[in-house]
């Protein structure tokens, strides 16, 4: 949520970052609601989407922006989830 607030407020609000971050959060929320049925393939697909989102935001000059950091954090959590799924 901090990333969403940062994307829309502050000295340089960025509508594109807000849109990208909202889409990423929607994906993660969807996976959370259906956690019991999520497959490793779906996690991999979502990781690819998050990777592209980070690249898009970095291309917009937001390397250290809270929105980019939020997407990276979500990606790290999904990587941890994937590792747990593989172990089970």
Which one is predicted more confidently, 62 or 5? 62
**In contact, 80 and 40? CB cutoff 8 Å:** no
Q: Which pTM value belongs to this model?
A: 0.74
Segment 25-41 shows an average pLDDT of 83
Helices in 1-88 by DSSP H: which ranges? Answer: 2-8, 15-33, 40-59, 66-87
Q: Is 41's pLDDT higher than 70?
A: yes
Least confident of 6-20, 26-40, 53-67: 6-20
CA 57 to CA 86: how far, in whole Å?
30
pLDDT score for 14: 67
Indicate the pLDDT class of residue 48, thresholds 50, 70 and 90. Answer: very high
Neighbours of 72 (CB within 10 A): 16
67 to each of 53, 57, 78, how far by Cα in Å?
10, 8, 17
Q: Is 61's pLDDT higher than 70?
A: yes
Indicate the pLDDT class of residue 9, thresholds 50, 70 and 90. Answer: low
């Amino acid at each position: 949520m901090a990333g969403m607030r940062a994307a829309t407020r502050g000295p340089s609000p960025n509508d594109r970052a807000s849109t990208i971050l909202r889409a990423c959060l929607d994906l993660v929320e969807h996976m959370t609601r259906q956690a019991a049925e999520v497959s490793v393939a779906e996690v991999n697909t979502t990781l690819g989407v998050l990777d592209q989102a980070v690249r898009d935001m970095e291309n917009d000059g937001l390397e250290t922006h809270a929105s980019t950091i939020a997407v990276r954090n979500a990606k790290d959590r999904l990587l941890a989830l994937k590792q747990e799924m593989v172990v089970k």
